[in-house]
Structure 1
Amino acid sequence: MLSLNAPSEILASGAAWAKECRLWEQLTQDALAERSGVSLGSLKRFGRHRMRPTGRERFR
């Protein structure tokens, strides 16, 4: 079955998957930033992304 997702839905599911993996590894955001070389601010910005309703979801 074909499933169409809005870009925000894809980003939100990716953020949730990344957080789940980080927690499974028992890493804090600070430790992950140090280990990966990505700034802590970038990690926090990505982690804060929440799925916002698109037009089609508001009218279901």
Structure 2
Amino acid sequence: MLKLNSKLKAYTIKRIVNNYNQDNLTGNISSATSIRKNINNQEVVNSMPKFCYETIKEEIKIIMPP
């Protein structure tokens, strides 16, 4: 952002509920690692907005047909 002389401001958000690279799903707030590792588990739907889950599943069908 500095190199681009961007007017955007960056803010950090403290991670809550789970840790970076945590493998297990933790309800409605899960790490990206746990979501990737559990994408075929129906429980993952509770960890992200439904439209995101549906989009990911559609993309998986395209790149990895059954």
Structures share fold, TM-score greater than 0.5: no
Query: Given the two structures, how large is their TM-score scaled by the length of structure 1?
Result: 0.31
Query: Given the two structures, how large is their TM-score scaled by the length of structure 2?
Result: 0.29
The structure number with the bigger radius of gyration is 2
